Amino acid sequence: MRETTTSAAGKICLLLVLFLFDGGACIKWLALGRAWDGLAWTREACTEVRNLGLLERKQAKVCRATLDVMPSFVQAAKDTSTVCQKAFQNRRWNCSSIDRAPDYTSELVTGTREQAFVYAMSAAAAVWRLARGCALGSLAACTCATPPRREPPSPSALISSSSYSKNSMSFALSSKNSFKWGGCGDDVRSASRMAKRFLQGSSPQSAGAVGKFLHAVNMHNNRAGRRAVEQSLTLECKCHGVSGSCSVRTCWRGLGSSGPTVAGARLLRRYASAMEVTPRTGGRLPPLYHLDNLLYTTKSPDYCLPDKMKGSLGTIGRQCNGSSAGYDGCEYLCCGRGHVTKSQEIIERCECKYISCCYVKCKTCRRIITNYECN
């Protein structure tokens, strides 16, 4: 009995320590997606945002030194919220607390899996937006990516072949076609460097070993997010030649047009396999963890019932899928508490037909919509 009491007391002390040193300081900038969208950036604005608690000290310094990158971070903040909420929309934790920035609930400041994902996703979104800014010429520090030294592979080896027309696919049968690097590749390397400079906040001086360790974990997840964008680069090519012969192809490495969602899907898989780590002497991470892994220090609650101390909103009243056995299914989402079925009759216009030139005649249809809601 004494061991159990001691263990519980130790967990409470650790939670208080993590709150005291504010493990979510470096993602408070995600509030910029709402608070500073569309507003002009000046050195005075950077100071104001810092005073409002939306930027950490080093982030405000970067803001004042490179004002042109700030619109990219504002868009990245919006991307992070959108991708996170879409990825977790059918789970017990649905990422809705991210919109509380900068006043996060405890699951985003105590080193949980959810905090790991948000740190990584925010870094990925920042790199993606900065890389696109480089390619569009809107940032002073970078332009297009430097072409690789090795020649592009054949079209049959490409990850994405959407740039090829049906007439140009015959190019894959020949190895004598000329190629050249061209276009404007996304400069992910420069973007990652700029994102790191902004996102790598300073470790609290008085945090002690536990605070420094959590900071090291956050920065590791930050790096994993940046790497997820680097791994999302694909080879894109265009064919040139008479009658679609594709005698010459121009290729570049780009991120496509799907936004940071590709990196988000990659990070969601790593969220499921995230590894738990415990504080070590000196506040450093163990040396054997792979750069792509997501790390966490605190086990997450089950998010079944409301608990403000743990950052859980609960799932009471959440809609679920009555025919699914997955995360969105009523059995999982309602945590075994059961659900209620609600039916609603909808009356709407249907089977509309044009009569003459400008008159539409419709029938009135009735249909039943069934919703399932967690107890």
Same structural domain for residues 266 and 364?
no
| pLDDT score of 244 | 62
Same structural domain for residues 215 and 259?
yes
Residue 2 lies in a domain: no
Residue 324 lies in a domain: no
Q: Say what angle helices 188-199 and 208-230 make with each other, to 10 degrees.
A: 160
| pLDDT score of 238 | 80
Residue 315 lies in a domain: no
Dihedral pair phi/psi, residue 119, rounded to 5°: -60, -45
Which amino acid, one-letter code, is at 357? Answer: C
| Residue 224 burial class via C-beta count within 10 angstroms: exposed 0-12, middle 13-18, buried 19 and up | buried
Same structural domain for residues 94 and 161?
yes
Q: How many domains does the chain have?
A: 2
Q: Among the listed ranges 33-37, 73-77, 102-106, which one has the minimum average pLDDT value?
A: 33-37
Same structural domain for residues 255 and 370?
no
| pLDDT score of 264 | 95
Residue scoring higher pLDDT (264 or 176) = 264
pLDDT value at 11 more than 50: no
Residue scoring higher pLDDT (165 or 272) = 272
Dihedral pair phi/psi, residue 77, rounded to 5°: -65, -45
| pLDDT score of 230 | 92
| b/e sequence 293-328, b meaning 16+ C-beta within 10 Å | ebbbbbebbebbeebeebbbbbbeebbbbeeeeeeb
- Structure tokens of 153? 């592979």
Residue scoring higher pLDDT (287 or 298) = 298
